[in-house]
Amino acid sequence: MTIAYIPVKQEKSLGLALALTVLFGPLGLFYATVWGGLVMALFGPILFFLVAILGVAWNNTWIMGMSIGMWLVFIAADWLTSIIWSVISVYSYNKKVKQENQRQMMLMNSFQGQGPAQVNSGGYLQQNPVASNTTEQANLGSNKPTLQEWQKKNPGKSINDYFSEFGR
């Protein structure tokens, strides 16, 4: 039996994360991780301006030229690091989302009295029922007491308990 299940959080697309990071570098990293995007987008300019200000303050053209050379090297390293960071972040995020979705499904199944279930890649719950629906309904119908009979045997229980045990 397949039951539609809508996860609370959707997984992030690895392809989109790669495309954004390759095209926009550290700014594209914001899709995968905001913290990583902030670190990578702010670290380069801050380092560049610190070295440039140091070169101007000391009136040293060699340090100012070094800041431009460092900037070019840093752009390449920053870009590559951002790409790697985005892949790792998306894998990590998707793993957490899958674990949370499976935990929610197991919790839902425990409340419904069903066995463990699997969530497939399409977001649907896959179950292997012991009996088919029609057989289960036929068995429940023949063994199902009336509400009044059940309440006499189960004092203090509510109608919700009755329906959770026997269905509608």
Pairing status of strand 2-4 against strand 118-119: unpaired
Q: Token pair 């289960």 is at which residue? A: 136
Global confidence as pTM? 0.57
Is 69's pLDDT higher than 90? no
Under 8 Å CB-to-CB from 91, ≥6 apart: which residues? 14
Q: Decide if 94 contacts 7 (C-beta within 8 A).
A: no
Tens of pLDDT, residue by residue over 104-156, are 777 777 766 655 555 555 555 555 444 444 444 444 445 778 877 878 888 87
